[in-house]
Amino acid sequence: MKTVAIIAASGVGKRMKLDGGMSKQMIEIGGHTVIWHTMKAFQDAESVDAVYIATKSDSIEPFKQLARENGFTKIHSIIEGGKERQDSIRNCMDLIEEEIESSGVMPDAILVHDGARPFIQPEEIDEIARISAEHGACVPATKPKDTIKYIGRTPEVFGETLDRSRLLQVQTPQGFTPAKLIEAHRKAASDGVYATDDAALVERYFPEQEIHVYEMGYHNIKITTPEDVPVGEAILAGLKARKSEN
């Protein structure tokens, strides 16, 4: 199967309180940077042929070097991201569209992943790619552990309680058949619409497209706050222990 992947890796880690706008992708967990873990997972995923990464301009060279030194041969392009995450993904998609036109080969699926989710596993990527190609759209999710409520009439008070049994917390990589993802992003750009994730864009422009749930473990966290670093170390140790058991 031919799948291409987009990795959004422009986050400057404001919530991480990093010095001088250091990329949160460069934080080390388990002896490797966040982006190393992410690149390696996509390198090792059998379904993936080519990976496009959007990042800050001054991360492009370090990322290229990292890919070269580690034999991450599937990293196809590392380009500058846009203002918002969605713009970065759009930049990668422009490249993918050119590639499709020049090669005449249409991928089975495009996956979009957050660079700051380094604990995704290659076999999970493969499964999401497979379901996306088969059903048109697939998004990983976990059941929320906590009760979820709306904010009320001011941010200091609560509103309505949601029915937790009907909720899912969604993650990435989110996979789609190329035509729909490309068209949804094109329309969003022309309408000036920004959505919370790619699934929300596809939902908006292709409401008839059902988005399939891939039930994910709790390891696929996003490295967002300083607390996440030791938590990430623990998750990584757990994943290694699980692998050595098998």
Binding site for a copy of itself (CB under 8 A): 139, 141, 144-152, 155-159, 161-162, 164, 166-171, 195-197, 199-200, 203, 210-213, 217-219, 221-222, 224-228, 230-231, 233-235, 237-238
Q: What does the alpha-carbon distance between residue 165 and residue 161 come to, in Å, rounded to a whole number?
A: 12
**Greatest distance between any 2 Cα atoms in the chain:** 55
Nearer to a copy of itself, 78 or 181 (CB): 181
Nearer to a copy of itself, 14 or 149 (CB): 149
**Which residue, 126, 143, 120, is CA-closest to 235?**
120
Nearer to a copy of itself, 79 or 195 (CB): 195
How far from 222 is each of 9, 37, 116, 225, CA to CA, in Å? Answer: 12, 12, 5, 9
**Minimum distance from residue 106 beta carbon to a copy of itself (Å):** 24
**Minimum distance from residue 162 beta carbon to a copy of itself (Å):** 8
Q: What does the alpha-carbon distance between residue 77 and residue 56 come to, in Å, rounded to a whole number?
A: 13
**Minimum distance from residue 217 beta carbon to a copy of itself (Å):** 7
Kindly state the DSSP code that residue 162 receives in the 8-state scheme: P
**Minimum distance from residue 164 beta carbon to a copy of itself (Å):** 6
